[in-house]
Chains A and B, each alone.
Chain A
Amino acid sequence: MSALVTTPNIPDPDGFYADLIAAQDHMTDDEASAFAARLVLILSNHIGDREVLAQAIHAAAQHVRGG
């Protein structure tokens, strides 16, 4: 079973985070929501592994709702 990577895996984390925030610099909240949804879909397709995606959805949901 493929496992969701939850250890540091992004080179140059500060640079990545700055890019993520900069992309939304001049967006309204509605645009930012639309951006976030598109990003999720584009990345999900790139991952393309239903097991990993299910674990990621679960991890995110659990983190928001507690569990």
Chain B
Amino acid sequence: MFHDRYQLAFKLYPYARSADQDADAPVRHPVVVMGGGPIGVATALDLGLQGIPVVLLDDHEGIGQGSRAICFAKRTLEISARYGCAAPMLDKGVVWNLGKVFHDDRKVFEFNLLPEDGHRFPAFINLQQPYFEKFLVERVREAQAQGAPIELRGRNRVTNAQVHDDHVALDIETPDGPYSIEADWLIGCDGASSPLRGMMGLDFEGRVFQDSFLIADIRMDGDFPTERWFWFEPHFKSGASTLLHKQPDGIWRVDFQIGWDIDRKEELKEENIRRRLDAMLGEGVEYELVWTSIYTFQCRRMKKFRHGRVIFAGDSAHQVSPFGARGANSGMQDVDNLGWKLGLVIAGKAPEALLDSYDAERAHGADENIRNSTRATDFITPKTKMSHVFRNAVLGLAEDYEFARPLVNSGRLSVPCTYDGLPLNGPDALPGGPPRTRPGSACPDAPIAGGYLLDWLGGDFVLLTLNAEAPETLEEAGIGMRRVALTGAEDAAGLLAERYLGDAPSAVYLIRPDQHVAARWDRFDETAVRAALHTACTLETA
């Protein structure tokens, strides 16, 4: 029997009988993705755009209701741009830069994200998760029409996964009854409570935070500006902390911290939610309740994200508190990291060991995200009397002393992590090169003649030359490298030089298909470049 666990915002992949259901023996697929959330659909898109056949299974027929993740970071937009679906996200999303922090009835200070000039995308957009997912699925449909081998199968619930050395056997329940398929590779994108993780009996350990948060999305014509407002111990007493954030469609996200021992049913009654909102907004403000939910959270991750032929990505692999917008944003970085590696392994151009670097790099990212979100949570919800005293001392001092403001932590907003010291990095042989573009870094964008740098990077290995010579193409062990040649002539604003040359007169960067720096030098050295490609793909040394 099929029962929906949630209501749909958009029905985008209605159940349709597949030929696999009538096959005599289970059909084998190169890649099966389990879970049709943003991370699963992005994974299917990444692989499908590479021409790798991929089947995505989801137990619903579309996108669930509720705004959920609402803050999408620049790096996520850059990754989405590589997949060809950033434009509608940017069109629909709300751009904000100003944040205000309040304690009780006083404004402690305000901050401006001060987005750096010369990037195609803003630091953040606010966008309801269902829209984000819808734009991804619409891009899948467009890619399918252009021949990308992607299949989305709605109402296909995986009931059993049998993991073998070289494949995974899956039993699937549908409205027409069960069937089975096999996958060379199975990607688990089935969310924080991952049924796949459960079927495989895998660990998911970490820290539980004993606090509940009440979300109310409201539609109103109030004259609040497009800013992020965060209250510690607000005077209106609607929660121990409160967050107000703008979304598209005239909707505001209000997030109240309401404590651990609560009666969920009671708290979710409309009159009780309205009591909190009225205290905050003042009498006489008209608004409509659009969506409400109570959540609690944990900070935890799997010990290993790769288990043979099964790879976990997104919330199924790691979970963080919402402070800092590090959930969906980090999941998109997982996809970005995994896509090209799996592509090379499936093409037989790189050994399976390359996939262990996915585990090393994204576990490093998950640890960074968990550390940041745990620190924010500890600041927002002090656990002892004295940590509360210190927290309020920081807030009190921040009103009058600039030095205390960087200590105020209402969430450190998501930025891509740098894979410092990890095995795929090659040499950093660019004396005077800027630290921000050292090997392991995600390439920062920069304006160049006719567009932006990142438009030219990604999808394959690139040799970025700045005032340096190099062959137009180079091939090593069947893996191509494409030169992108730039000089001062294309860099009117000087930002390319600032971000990639620093004090160096010339530079050659080897850039991975996920737009991360693999290695850099002051000039082209063919032997060194070939060696760095070997390192970046974990190829056996010749």
- Pair A34/B397 contact, Cβ less than 8 Å: no
B404 within 8 A of A: yes
On whether the beta carbons of A37 and B403 are closer than 8 Å, the reply is no
User: Within the complex, which residue of B392, B401, B404 is in contact with A34, where a contact is CB–CB below 8 Å?
Assistant: B392
User: Smallest CB-CB separation from B398: which chain A residue?
Assistant: A41
Once the chains bind, are A33 and B389 in contact (CB under 8 Å)?
A: yes
A42 CB-CB contact with B under 8 Å: yes
The tally of CB-CB contacts under 8 A between chains A and B is 27
Q: Is A24 part of the binding interface, using a Cβ–Cβ cutoff of 8 Å?
A: no
CB contact list, A17-67 vs B, under 8 A: 33-34, 37-38, 40-42, 45
A41-B393 Cα distance, complex, nearest whole Å: 8
Inside 8 A of B386's CB, which chain A residues have their CB? 33, 37
Instruction: Give every chain B residue within 8 A of A40 (Cβ-Cβ).
Output: 390, 393
Q: Which residues of B contact A34 (CB under 8 A)?
A: 389, 392-393, 396
When C-beta atoms are compared, the residue in chain B nearest to A46 turns out to be B403
List, in ascending order, chain A residues with CB within 8 A of B397's CB: 38, 41-42
Instruction: Indicate if the CB atoms of B389 and A41 lie closer than 8 Å.
Output: no
Contacts of B393 in A (CB 8 A): 34, 37-38, 40-41
Distance of A34 Cα from B404 Cα, bound (Å): 15
B residues 378-405 with Cβ under 8 Å of A? 386, 389-390, 392-394, 396-397, 401, 403-404
Could you tell me the distance between the alpha carbons of A45 and B393 in the complex, rounded to whole angstroms? Answer: 13
In the complex, how many residues of chain B place their beta carbon closer than 8 angstroms to a beta carbon of chain A? 12
CA distance A24 to B389 in the complex (A): 16
Looking across the interface, which residue of chain A has its beta carbon closest to that of B390?
A37
A45 CA to B398 CA in the complex, in Å?
12
Interchain CA distance A34-B389 in the complex, whole Å: 6
B407 at the interface (CB under 8 A from A): yes
Contacts of A37 in B (CB 8 A): 386, 389-390, 392-393
- Separation of A62 and B142 alpha carbons in the complex (Å): 63
A38–B391 CA distance with the chains assembled, in angstroms: 10
User: How long is the Cα–Cα vector from A37 to B397 in the complex, in angstroms?
Assistant: 10
Contact A41 B407 (CB under 8 A): yes
Return the contact of A45 from the options B389, B392, B396, B403 (Cβ within 8 A).
B403
Q: Which residues of A are found within 8 Å of B389, using beta-carbon distances?
A: 33-34, 37
Interface residues of B in 403-446 (CB under 8 A from A): 403-404, 407
> Who on chain B is nearest to A39 by CB?
B393
A41 with B394: CB separation less than 8 A = yes
Q: How far is the CA of A41 from the CA of B407 in the complex (A)?
A: 10
Minimum Cβ distance to chain A for residue B384 (Å): 12
* Chain B residues within an 8 Å CB radius of A42: 397, 401, 403
Chain A residue with minimal CB distance to B394? A41
Tell me the minimal C-beta distance from A51 to chain B in angstroms.
Answer: 19
A49 to chain B, nearest CB (A): 14
List B contacts of A45 (CB < 8 A): 403-404
Min Cβ gap A42→B in Å is 7
Bound CA span A45–B404, Å: 8
Compute how far the CA of A16 lies from the CA of B392 in the bound complex, rounded to whole angstroms: 26
Give Cα distance in the complex from A22 to B424, angstroms. 60
Q: How far is the CA of A38 from the CA of B400 in the complex (A)?
A: 12
Q: 1/0 per position for B354-393, CB-CB distance to A under 8 A?
A: 0000000000000000000000000000000010011011
Which chain A residues border B396 with CB–CB below 8 Å?
34, 38
- Which residues from B are CB-within-8-Å of A33? 386, 389
- B401: nearest residue on chain A (CB-CB)? A42
- In the complex, what distance in Å separates the CA atom of A42 from the CA atom of B407? 12
Residue of B nearest to A38 (CB): B393
Q: Which residue of A lies closest to B407 (CB)?
A: A41
Closest-CB distance, B391 to chain A (whole angstroms) = 9
Known: A33-B386, A41-B397. 10 other contacts (CB 8 A): A37-B386, A37-B390, A38-B393, A38-B396, A40-B390, A41-B394, A41-B404, A42-B397, A42-B401, A45-B404
Q: Which 7 A-B pairs have the closest CB atoms?
A: A37-B393, A45-B403, A38-B393, A37-B390, A33-B389, A37-B389, A41-B393
A selection of 25 A-B contacts at a CB cut-off of 8 Å is: A33-B386, A33-B389, A34-B389, A34-B392, A34-B393, A34-B396, A37-B386, A37-B389, A37-B390, A37-B392, A37-B393, A38-B393, A38-B396, A40-B390, A40-B393, A41-B390, A41-B393, A41-B394, A41-B397, A41-B404, A41-B407, A42-B401, A42-B403, A45-B403, A45-B404
